[in-house]
A and B are shown apart, each in its own frame.
Chain A
Amino acid sequence: MRSFWTIFRFSSWRLRWTVLGWGIPLMLLGMITTPFYDLVAENERQLRPVIQGLKPLVKSFIGGEQAEDLFTPQGFLALRYFAFLPVILGIFASVVGSGMLASDEERGILDFLLSHPAGRSSVFLGRLAATFLTMVAILLLAWFGLWLGVLRADSLHFPPGQILLPYISVLAVGAFFLTLSLALSMTMPSRVTAAMTAGFIVLASEILTNLAKAIMELKLAARFSPLTYFQTNAMSGLEIKPLIGLLAFAIIWTVLAWLGFQRRDIRVAGDGGWKLPFLSR
């Protein structure tokens, strides 16, 4: 337990610049986006026919059937802010999750760390907890920025607790991709390949989820897309089932990653990487 806390504290401290590096831009994004609602509301008469005239496929990328919700305060935040957040956090989670252990392993740092009296489970859980805490801290900064923006906007009147709800759904999506990329990094030969694969899944999921709003045939496939379970409109109430679904998968990926880490040989610096037969000499 002592080594868990030591690793958790040290890893959290190492990630402090990551919190600021991702959290401050997201905070600014929230502060900058919200005042635009006043402008959108003022120009509703001109903008609504434009949205109504869009083809369904184009419309699917700005909310599909909910595209006209842009003119309500809640809809505006859902479509212009929260719709992007899971993709941004998904990419972040893919990078950080794949590097959580594999990055230090490839740099040879893990080898020396594990020669100290720290079990693999302590290292795994200590780092996972620190990375999850980092994600929570980034989202809290983002929420704080959005709340400051809401305070500045004339037509937006939400209590801070209400705008916090979609962040819980974003966090569940982040946990899903964090643990997925971590599990991939324990099975794939290098950190980069795991990050790229997880990042590709994030983007593919985003495209599939949006297209399924316009193309009926894709509705079934979209059920397997993680971002389908992100609740853009969580400000009007958070559904528990999608949250539990995403978190259940996060637990499954965590267990698979933990098993992989328990069983693997710790590599030394320079190992890893895929060797393609036609490129190797």
Chain B
Amino acid sequence: MSKDSQPIIRVNNLTKSYGGFQALRGIDFEVQRGEVFGFLGPNGAGKTTAIRCMLDLIRPSSGSLLVTGYDPQRNPVAVRARCGYLPGELRFDENITVSAALHFFQQLRGATAACRRRAAVLSDRLELDTASRIKNLSKGNKQKIGIVSAFMHEPELLLLDEPTSGLDPLVQQTVMDLVAEVQQGGATVFFSSHVLSEVQAVAGRVAIIRDGSIVEVSETSALSARGKVEVRVRFACPVAPEKAKLSELTGVTLIASEDDCRFLEFTVSGNMDGLVKWLAAYPVATLETRQCGLEQVFHAHYSGKEKKASAISLS
């Protein structure tokens, strides 16, 4: 089988222990070429440990890894040449200028003209002042150096660990745009984060990691669909809803009623048609819906049970 037809990341029963503490407990997953793969988990779940094993920065206790077709322990330079990495905790030599740092990283990557050109384009796009000394930059601006360095050589695989950490919303959006662009260009993105909305926005598949174990790998759309929609309705005047009809609606649960039934809140799983038709009989002033799919599944894995809405009865 050629390298191009293999998964770009193949992790097989990977464990990593620090003394008595197990940071990774035999994780398995595969990432296919060209996809954006979300890696979700809170701080300390093992996301960074897994990425650092992929780059041979730390050595697994057991298990095997293939990244871009190479074993990182045997061919670390080959793996790193094909990867762009943005760590969550980004540190630089503070006494040099941004341009000196980027020049150094370009030299390590072979200093091709294309790499230099792309670094200049990315710096402009992120509004990175390359003449400044790194010690004078804010956390967000330092993060931009990491972004330029990770993307400038157009790698096959991008390993992004909390890539939007410390960035303002505009630059966060630029990063998300960059992720989408490199995916269109054929690159693979391994997107590690604890920010659910951004993973949901870019990732085609998601792995959820908890206490060093993968608890679920699934299509993002499938996970989202498993969640419910929250519906909040405010009526123009107090209403007396027909309880009997409401209880007949499948998948609809009333979870809150306030202000003398002027405000009702429901969760809906599946089709909303029945609820919309039921509401049509009343003077609706405002109606808000919120999809809480991935978040609900994530919380379910972390709390050990589905974050269930408790039904109330209308009195």
Residues of A within 8 A of B (CB): 2-3, 6-7, 10, 14, 104, 107-109, 111-112, 114-120, 263, 265-266, 268-269
Is B57 a contact of A111 with CB atoms below 8 Å?
yes
Is A117 a contact of B81 with CB atoms below 8 Å?
yes
Q: Which of B58, B92, B105 contacts A116 (CB 8 A)?
A: B105
Q: Which of B55, B87, B104 contacts A6 (CB 8 A)?
A: B104
Is A112 a contact of B104 with CB atoms below 8 Å?
no
Is A112 a contact of B80 with CB atoms below 8 Å?
no
Within 8 A of A (CB), among B104-130: 104-105, 107-110
Is B91 a contact of A108 with CB atoms below 8 Å?
yes
Smallest Cβ distance from B8 to chain A, in angstroms? 17
B90 in the interface (beta carbon within 8 A): yes
B77 in the interface (beta carbon within 8 A): yes
Residues on A with C-beta less than 8 A from B55 are 114-115
Closest B residue to A3 by beta carbon equals: B108
| CA of A92 to CA of B28, assembled, Å | 48
Residues on B with C-beta less than 8 A from A109 are 91-93
Is B80 a contact of A6 with CB atoms below 8 Å?
no
24 pairs, A vs B, C-beta closer than 8 Å: A3-B77, A6-B107, A10-B104, A14-B93, A14-B96, A104-B93, A109-B92, A111-B57, A111-B87, A111-B91, A112-B91, A115-B57, A115-B85, A116-B108, A117-B77, A117-B109, A118-B77, A118-B108, A119-B76, A119-B77, A265-B59, A266-B52, A268-B87, A268-B89
Instruction: State whether A107 and B83 are in contact (beta carbons under 8 Å apart), knowing that A6-B107, A266-B57 are contacts in the complex.
Output: no
Residues of B within 8 A of A (CB): 48, 52, 55-59, 76-78, 80-81, 83, 85, 87, 89-93, 96, 104-105, 107-110, 146, 149
| CA of A3 to CA of B96, assembled, Å | 19
Is B91 a contact of A269 with CB atoms below 8 Å?
yes
| CA of A112 to CA of B78, assembled, Å | 16
Residues on B with C-beta less than 8 A from A120 are 76
Smallest Cβ distance from A104 to chain B, in angstroms? 8
Closest A residue to B88 by beta carbon equals: A268
Residues on B with C-beta less than 8 A from A119 are 76-77
| CA of A120 to CA of B59, assembled, Å | 13
| CA of A269 to CA of B89, assembled, Å | 8
Residue among A7, A104, A112, A268 facing the most chain B CB atoms (10 A cut-off): A112
Residues on B with C-beta less than 8 A from A117 are 77-78, 80-81, 108-109
Residues on A with C-beta less than 8 A from B83 are 115
Given contacts A7-B108, A111-B57, A116-B108, 18 further A-B contacts (CB under 8 A): A6-B104, A108-B90, A108-B91, A109-B93, A111-B87, A112-B91, A114-B80, A115-B57, A117-B77, A117-B109, A118-B77, A118-B80, A118-B108, A119-B77, A265-B57, A265-B58, A268-B48, A269-B89
Residue among B58, B78, B149 facing the most chain A CB atoms (10 A cut-off): B58
| CA of A109 to CA of B91, assembled, Å | 5
Smallest Cβ distance from B292 to chain A, in angstroms? 34
| CA of A269 to CA of B87, assembled, Å | 12
| CA of A266 to CA of B57, assembled, Å | 5
Is B104 a contact of A114 with CB atoms below 8 Å?
no
Residues on B with C-beta less than 8 A from A3 are 77, 108
